[in-house]
Every structure is written in structure tokens, then in C-alpha cells.
């Protein structure tokens, strides 16, 4: 097809000129279509947002209740200037979607972030046929091969049990939107109560407003009884690691849940007592399988190991390209790609400009 491609990368984000809208723009635009509510994909300041309806409350919590937001179901079709848009499950977090764009018989899919395993919390990934696929590749190196997630959840429960027996608090760390719910829903609730850091509880409240059923949790406040809290398990975001907020639960064991825990170096760097390899992104085989299932000819790789992964795809016969986006940046880690939520000792978020330095 001659002329402009249906989707292109410009300074603001992924742009559809025919439909005059952006997908996951990193600068404020008129019309933003959002794959999911993580902050490197859903940014503040656009005039109109279109997202999956399970992202509604979290987007409002994160971007402001006043945003102009339209939500849709998976599979529902929306037209913008004659371009057909639909949302399809990405399996990344609750409300995450791949976005299918069709115009004059040409189909593109923007993956957002995705994983193939059913995590038991969000709607599982469904492959969507397309001509061109814009894919993430956060873990696009063959050293990343996830274990079955249920094995990891069983490890987490065993670890919690052991900490109880040895009279240590359990602090489990994961990103507040996505990982925290996944951890929570697989905890063995017969072992004890689940306590949450304020940032995570705020997210849970937003999800509950959206009708999501989550296991019961208790917010940690300055009034919380420390001895009681120490008998349960504490769900905390990465930003709380090493903070006075966390230290007050001492003695504790701290477990970190992330795909990066697959590498010893990364685990040692975070000085976690336990690294649980639990990721909401596709591993190497998952990425290859997902790309194959689209039946696409052309692949654009956004964030992750884009250089190596696109080279490999080209060698196995795809028309593969590196795309430069601001999602997490080149080889950046999850903590980079999320806004750093800085919390004070009570676990409340410190707004930027309140004297806290941001990395």
C-alpha cells in the first residue's frame, strides 16, 4: 500500500493520521486511545481518552476524576474519522488491551504490554490477526523463560509460612497496579491477614469501585498495630524498599516479585531477601509465540531489548523494525517505566515538588 502507513511514530506517540488519534501518547494530544493504565502508557493532559471500561476508575484516580473518558468492552467497535478501533485482551493487567486499528482493509495491532499466561486475575491474552504488529519486548532475550506462575505463587505462600514460623514479618514487593493484585489473589488467605501500603490500597479501592472482586486487605496507617501487622503479609510497592516505612516492620524478610528477578545480578542489586520471578510481560518464547499468532508480516518493537530482538526476528523472516518510543525507554526496567511513587513514612504519596528527589 503506497503512501503513509496507517500508524506511525512521531514526537507525541503512536499516531493514526487517517483517524486523527494517538495510541498511548506521551505528550498531551486531542484524542488518546489507551492500552492500559500504567503511567508510561496513560499520561496526563490529553483532551479525550478512550480505554477499556475496567481501566476507568484507575485512570480517574491516576489522571484526575475530571478527565474526559470513554470506555468500551473487549471486542466492541468504535470509529474515529472512518477508522475502526477495537480493544482485545492483552493479559497484562486488569483492563489492559491490545488495540486493533482497521482502515481500508489494512489491520494494525498495538500490543501495549502483554503476557500469554492466564494469571487468574485479568482477562487472558487473545491473539489478533493483523498485517502489522507493534509489540513490546521488555523481556525479549532468550535468557528470560518464566516458570509456570502457579509454582511461583506456591513458593510465595511457602515463604510466608516459613516467615510466620520463624517469627519474621513478610514484606512482598510488586508494582501497585497489576503485580499487587496478582500476588494478592494467589495468597493463601488461611495463613493470615493481608496488609497494604497506602499506594496499593488506593489502587485496590479504585479497582473495587470498578466492580473488581479482590481478596480482603487492610490499609496500613500510622495507627496500625505493628505486632498485628507483622503476623500477616505486607504488600508494598517498589518505592517503599529501604524506606523508614518498611524498616519499622523489622525483623522482616522482603521478597521482590518481578521478571527481573530471573537474573542473579538484578536480584542482588535490589538486595532482596527473596526474588520471585513473576512478570506481567511475555518471556522470550511468549513474545515469539504471540508474534507468530498474529500472522503479521511487519513487526515494530517498542520497549525492551529492541535491537537484539528485531535482529533475531529479521533472521527468522519477519520485516522487523526498532521503534523509538518513550515507553520505559531502551532496556529500562519496570521501576523506570512507572512514575516513581514516593511515599512518606505513613505510606502516603508525596507529590513531586514536595522536596523529594526523583530519579
| Site residues (vs another protein, CB under 8 A) | 141-145, 253, 262-269, 271, 273-275, 305, 308, 311-312, 315, 329-332, 336, 359
DSSP string, 122-157: SPPP-----SEEEEEETT-STT--PPPHHHHHHHHH
Rounded to 5 degrees, φ, ψ at 257 are -105, 110
Distance between CA 111 and CA 122 in Å, rounded?
Answer: 16
Q: In the complex, what is the shortest distance from the CB of residue 243 to another protein, in angstroms, rounded to a whole number?
A: 14
Distance between CA 149 and CA 339 in Å, rounded?
Answer: 26
Give me the count of residues in the chain: 359
291: which 3 cell numbers? 508474534
Distance between CA 106 and CA 190 in Å, rounded?
Answer: 52
Q: What is the largest CA-CA distance in the chain?
A: 68
Local structure of residue 62 (DSSP, 8 states): H
Distance between CA 37 and CA 51 in Å, rounded?
Answer: 9
Q: Which is nearer to another protein, 17 or 340 (CB)?
A: 340
Q: Which is nearer to another protein, 274 or 281 (CB)?
A: 274
Q: Which is nearer to another protein, 43 or 52 (CB)?
A: 43
Q: Which is nearer to another protein, 265 or 353 (CB)?
A: 265
Decide: helix, strand or coil at residue 172: strand
Q: Which is nearer to another protein, 7 or 278 (CB)?
A: 278
Handedness of CA 95, 96, 101, 106 (dihedral sign): negative
Rounded to 5 degrees, φ, ψ at 56 are -55, -60
Distance between CA 30 and CA 47 in Å, rounded?
Answer: 5
DSSP lists the bridge partners of residue 53 as none
Q: Which is nearer to another protein, 18 or 332 (CB)?
A: 332
Q: In the complex, what is the shortest distance from the CB of residue 145 to another protein, in angstroms, rounded to a whole number?
A: 7
Q: Which is nearer to another protein, 124 or 329 (CB)?
A: 329
H/E stretch holding 331 reads none
Distance between CA 110 and CA 134 in Å, rounded?
Answer: 5
Q: In the complex, what is the shortest distance from the CB of residue 112 to another protein, in angstroms, rounded to a whole number?
A: 22
Please choose, from the candidates 253, 119, 132, the residue with its C-alpha nearest in 3D space to the C-alpha of residue 178.
Answer: 119
Q: In the complex, what is the shortest distance from the CB of residue 137 to another protein, in angstroms, rounded to a whole number?
A: 13
CA distances in angstroms from 61 to 27, 107, 199, listed in the order given: 19, 33, 11
Q: Which is nearer to another protein, 81 or 145 (CB)?
A: 145
3: which 3 cell numbers? 503512501
Residue 275 · residue 172 · CB < 8 Å = no
Amino acid at each position: 500500500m503506497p503512501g503513509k502507513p496507517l500508524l506511525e511514530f512521531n514526537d507525541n506517540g503512536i499516531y493514526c493520521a487517517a483517524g486523527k488519534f494517538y495510541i498511548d501518547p506521551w505528550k498531551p494530544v486531542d484524542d488518546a486511545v489507551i492500552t492500559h493504565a500504567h503511567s508510561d502508557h496513560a499520561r496526563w493532559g490529553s483532551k479525550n481518552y478512550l480505554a477499556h471500561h475496567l481501566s476507568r476508575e484507575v485512570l480517574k484516580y491516576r489522571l484526575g476524576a475530571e478527565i474526559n473518558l470513554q470506555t468500551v468492552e473487549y471486542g466492541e467497535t468504535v470509529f474515529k474519522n472512518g477508522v475502526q478501533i477495537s480493544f482485545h485482551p492483552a493479559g497484562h493487567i486488569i483492563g489492559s488491551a491490545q488495540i486493533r486499528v482497521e482502515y481500508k482493509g489494512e489491520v494494525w495491532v498495538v500490543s501495549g504490554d502483554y503476557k500469554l499466561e492466564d494469571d487468574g486475575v485479568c482477562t487472558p491474552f487473545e491473539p489478533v490477526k493483523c498485517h502489522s504488529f507493534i509489540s513490546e519486548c521488555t523481556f525479549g532475550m532468550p535468557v528470560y523463560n518464566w516458570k509456570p506462575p502457579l509454582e511461583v505463587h506456591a513458593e510465595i505462600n511457602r515463604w510466608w509460612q516459613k516467615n510466620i514460623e520463624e517469627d519474621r514479618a513478610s514484606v512482598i514487593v510488586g508494582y501497585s497496579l497489576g503485580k499487587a493484585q496478582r500476588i494478592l489473589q494467589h495468597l493463601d488467605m488461611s495463613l493470615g491477614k493481608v496488609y497494604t501500603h497506602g499506594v496499593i490500597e488506593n489502587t485496590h479501592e479504585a479497582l473495587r469501585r470498578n466492580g473488581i472482586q479482590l481478596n480482603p486487605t487492610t490499609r496500613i496507617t500510622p495507627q496500625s498495630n505493628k505486632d498485628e501487622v507483622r503476623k500477616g503479609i505486607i504488600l508494598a510497592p517498589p518505592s517503599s524498599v529501604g524506606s523508614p516505612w518498611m524498616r519499622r516492620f523489622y525483623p522482616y524478610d522482603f521478597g521482590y516479585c518481578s521478571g527481573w528477578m530471573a537474573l542473579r545480578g538484578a536480584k542482588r542489586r535490589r538486595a532482596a531477601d527473596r526474588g520471585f520471578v513473576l512478570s506481567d510481560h511475555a518471556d522470550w518464547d511468549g513474545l515469539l509465540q504471540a508474534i507468530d499468532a498474529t500472522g503479521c508480516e511487519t513487526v515494530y518493537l517498542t520497549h525492551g531489548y529492541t535491537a537484539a530482538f528485531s535482529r533475531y526476528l529479521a533472521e527468522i523472516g519477519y520485516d522487523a523494525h526498532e521503534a523509538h518510543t518513550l515507553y520505559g525507554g531502551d532496556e529500562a526496567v519496570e521501576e523506570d517505566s512507572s512514575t516513581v511513587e514516593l511515599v512518606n513514612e505513613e505510606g502516603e504519596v508525596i507529590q513531586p515538588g514536595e522536596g523529594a528527589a526523583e530519579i
